């Protein structure tokens, strides 16, 4: 039946997602066109194609146990010299992202796996490019800021062309009490609030 490479992530909504992807391309990251802007919950993981139905059931169960939560991106950071990455920081919603990825990777589930580094939610804007370009990315986006309410996450599959494609979305049950309608409506682009 073969294997597939999957990833689970929170998509950065428009207009922020396209903006950051264009910035990443502009910094010279050759992988940028094939990677939608995201916060990783499960890094690239090779699985049997036959395991997909069980993985999708697991992800639906995880999503059912969460509620929308606020997220804020602000400023930049880097994992250098340990890893050649520059990223936009998650400054609000870190605990929610951390809890979500832990449930997705639970040892009892089909997505169980160890991570190479401790989990740290972020949005990669430069990876494995020249140091001068990494510096440019870190300086160029230091004033970037975006806020929105996370309403779920998605499963992606990497094709043989190295492009990540959306396979299925897993929305959280709506939270209506105490949340303004516009905050719960993820169909509209968020208004900048930074």
Average pLDDT for 11-30: 96
Q: pLDDT tens digit string along 25-77?
A: 999 999 999 999 999 999 999 999 999 999 999 999 999 999 999 999 999 99
Q: What is the pLDDT of residue 175?
A: 66
- CATH number of the CATH domain containing 127: 3.90.1140.10
Number of domains in the chain: 1
Q: Answer yes or no: is 116 within a domain.
A: yes
Q: Single out the residue of 147, 180, 150, 146 nearest to residue 41, CA to CA.
A: 150
Neighbours of 134 (CB within 10 A): 22
Q: What is the pLDDT of residue 180?
A: 38
Report yes or no: 96 and 69 within 8 Å, Cβ to Cβ: yes
Write out the two tokens for 117. 């580094």
Domain extent, residue 39, equals 3-181
Q: Answer yes or no: is 192 within a domain.
A: no
Mean pLDDT, the chain, integer: 90
In the block, which residue shows the tokens 């094709």?
159
Q: What is the pLDDT of residue 174?
A: 81
Which of helix, strand or coil describes residue 92?
strand
Q: pLDDT tens digit string along 144-157?
A: 999 999 999 999 99
Q: Answer yes or no: is 160 within a domain.
A: yes
pLDDT at 191 over 50: no
Q: How many CA atoms lie within 13 A of 146 on its CB side?
A: 24
Q: Answer yes or no: is 68 within a domain.
A: yes
Strand order in the sheet with 3-11: 38-48, 3-11, 152-158, 164-171
Q: Answer yes or no: is 191 within a domain.
A: no
Report yes or no: 30 and 162 within 8 Å, Cβ to Cβ: no
């Amino acid at each position: 039946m073969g294997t597939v490479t999957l990833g689970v992530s929170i998509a950065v909504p428009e207009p922020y997602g396209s903006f950051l992807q264009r910035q990443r391309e502009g910094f010279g990251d050759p992988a940028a066109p094939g990677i939608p802007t995201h916060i990783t919950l499960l890094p690239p993981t090779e699985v049997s194609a036959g395991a997909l139905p069980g993985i999708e059931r697991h992800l639906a169960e995880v999503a059912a146990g969460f509620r929308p939560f606020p997220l804020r991106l602000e400023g930049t950071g880097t994992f250098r010299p340990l890893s050649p990455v520059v990223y936009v920081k998650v400054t609000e919603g870190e605990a929610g992202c951390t809890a979500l990825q832990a449930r997705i990777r639970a040892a009892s589930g089909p997505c169980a796996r160890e991570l190479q580094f401790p989990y740290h939610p972020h949005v990669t804007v430069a990876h494995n490019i020249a140091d001068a370009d990494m510096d440019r990315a870190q300086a160029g986006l230091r004033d970037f800021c975006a806020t929105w309410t996370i309403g779920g996450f998605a499963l992606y599959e990497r094709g043989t062309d190295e492009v990540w494609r959306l396979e299925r979305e897993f929305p959280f049950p709506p939270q209506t009490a105490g949340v303004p309608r516009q905050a719960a409506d993820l169909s509209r682009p968020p208004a900048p609030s930074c």
